[in-house]
Structure 1
Amino acid sequence: MLNIAAVLCIATIYVRYKQVHALNPEESRIIKLNKAGLVLGLLSCLGLSIVANFQKTTFFAVHVCGAVLTFGIGSLYMFVQTILSYQMQPKIHGKQVFWIRLLLVIWCGVMLTCSSLLYSGSFGADIVQKLHWNPEDKGYVLHMITTAAEWSMSLSFFGFFLTYIRDFQKISLRVEATLHGLTLYDTAPCPINNERTRLLSRDV
C-alpha cells in the first residue's frame, strides 16, 4: 500500500511541478523553488518506499532513514510549496489556499518535533524498537504522543495534497505519440500526410 502511495505521490508532485513551471516560465526565483520542491518531493517518496520495504524490527537504521526522508524532507517539500503559493499571490494564487497550506506546515512541524522526542535517547536505546507497551512502562506517555504525532503528520501530508484539487482542475495532461519510422525495426523517416496533420492539429 505504501509503495502504491509513493508512486501516486510521485505523479502528483510531478504534475504540480509542471503546472508551476507553465505558470511562471520567466520567474527565476520561482523556477528555483519549483525545482527544489520537485527534488524534495521525490526524496520524500523514496523514503516512503524505504519505510514500506524495511521493517522497523529487522532493519531499524534503514527504516529510520526512510522515516527521516518521508517526514523530514516531506515537511520541507510542504514548506517550499507554501512559499511558492505565497510568491504567486495575488495574480496566480489565492490567499485562502496559502493560509490552509501554511497551517498544515506549522502543524506538521509541531508534530515532527513531538515525534523526534522518543528518538532522543532519554528513555534508553532499545525503547524505539519496543512493540508491546504497558501504561506503567517508562516513556509510555511519550510513546503515545509520538505515535499520535506520526499519524497526524501522515494525515497532514494527505491534507496538503488535497489542497491541489482546485489547482489541478485548471490543468489538462495528454500523451502524444510521434512515429519515427514505418515499423519498429527501421528508422526510416515516416511520411506524414499534410491533410491529416492539419486535422489532428485542429482536433487538439
Structure 2
Amino acid sequence: MWWFQQGLCILPVALVVWTAATFILAYITAVLLRHVDPLVPYISDTGTVPPERCVFGIMLDVSAFLGIATTYVRYKQVQALTEDEEYKLHKLNLFGLVLGWISSFGMCVVANFQKTTLFSMHLVGAVLTFGVGALYILVQTLVSLYMQPHVHGKTVFWVRLAVGVWTFSSIISMFVSSVIMYSSLPGVDVAHKLHWIPGETGYTAHLISTISEWSLAMSFISFFLTYIRDFQKITLRADVNLHSSHLYDSPHYSITAPVNQSETSPLLAGSI
C-alpha cells in the first residue's frame, strides 16, 4: 500500500495537489494566451478571462469541497483524541471547524465572482479565504500546542507555527504593498489592470503585492500537508443494515459509518 492510500490522508493530499494545480493551470493558460504578464500576476487575474476563467472557477469549487471535508475530519479527530481534556480545547476545536468552513466558502465566492465582474464580492471572497484561513491556521496551531507532548511531539507544533508565521507575514506584506500601489495610482482602475510595464508608477508595489499573494496561497495550502501523518491512521467504513427482506415492505434503512482505528496510538487514532 502506498503512503497516500493509508487512511484518509488522501484528503489533505488531494486538497493541496488540486488547489496548486488550479493556480498553475490557470496561470499557464493565461500567460500562453497573453491575458496576463508572465512575471507574477495576481492569482485572480489568471482566472479572469475565458477560457481559463471557467476552468479556474470549477476547479476552485472542488477545492472548496475538499477543504470542507478535510477540516471536518480534523475536527472529529481532535475531538476523539481529547475526550478527557479541558473544555477550552473542545471550544477551540469547534471554533476552528467554523473558521475552516468559512474559509472554504470563501473559495466558492472567489471562484464565482471574478475580479473584473464584481470586484467587491471578489474582495469579500479573498478576505474569507485567506483572512479567515489564516485565523484557522492560528487556531489549529494553538490546538497543537495544547495537544503536545502527550498526543504528538513538539515538532508538529513548531512546523505549524512556522507556517502560521509565514502566512501572517505574507498577509501584512500584501496589505501594505497594495495600499501603496492604490494610493500611488489615483484615478486608475487598478482592479481591471491586467498588464503592467516595468518602471511605471506603482509597478514595484504591484510586484511585491503579487509575490506576497502567491506566497500567501502557498503557505495556506502547505499547512494542510501537516495533516498527512495524522490522517494516515484514520479509516472510514460504512455498514449498511437492511431491515426488510423486501424493498417495499418497510422502507427503513440505516447506514452507520464507524471509523476503524488501525493503531491504538493516541496520536493517530480518531473517530468520525
1:4 aligns with 2:62: yes
Distance 1:22 1:140, change over 3 A: same
Which one-letter code corresponds to 2:191 in the other structure? V
TM-score relative to the length of structure 2:
0.65
Matching of residues 12-161 of structure 1 within 5 Å:
12-27=70-85, 28-120=87-179, 121-123=182-184, 124=186, 126-161=189-224
RCO greater where, 1 or 2, for CA within 8 Å and sep 6 or more?
A: 2
Distance 1:107 1:178, change over 3 A: same
Which one-letter code corresponds to 2:74 in the other structure? R
| Contact 1:50–1:63 (8 Å) recurs in 2 | yes
Query: Aligned-pair distance for 1:171?
Result: 1.8
* Structure number having the greater strand percentage: 2
Q: Deviations over 1:76-130 (max 9, x none)?
A: 0000000000000111021111111101100110101111225434233632332
Note the residue ranges of structure 1 that are not aligned, 5 or more in a row. 191-204
Distance 1:180 1:119, change over 3 A: farther
| Contact 1:33–1:84 (8 Å) recurs in 2 | yes
| Contact 2:243–2:252 (8 Å) recurs in 1 | yes
| Contact 1:82–1:102 (8 Å) recurs in 2 | yes
Q: Which has the larger radius of gyration?
A: 1
| Contact 1:112–1:149 (8 Å) recurs in 2 | yes
Identity, % of aligned pairs? 52
Distance 1:66 1:184, change over 3 A: farther
In 2, the alpha carbon distance for the partners of 1:112 and 1:73 equals: 11
Distance 1:189 1:139, change over 3 A: closer
Q: RMSD in angstroms over aligned alpha carbons? A: 2.0
Note the residue ranges of structure 2 that are not aligned, 5 or more in a row. 1-58, 254-272
Query: Aligned-pair distance for 1:180?
Result: 5.1
In 2, the alpha carbon distance for the partners of 1:66 and 1:132 equals: 23
In 1, the alpha carbon distance for the partners of 2:69 and 2:247 equals: 29
Distance 1:179 1:30, change over 3 A: farther
Matched pairs, number: 191
Please, which moves more after superposition, 167-176 or 155-164?
A: 167-176
TM-score relative to the length of structure 1:
0.86
| Contact 2:178–2:209 (8 Å) recurs in 1 | no
In 2, the alpha carbon distance for the partners of 1:94 and 1:129 equals: 47
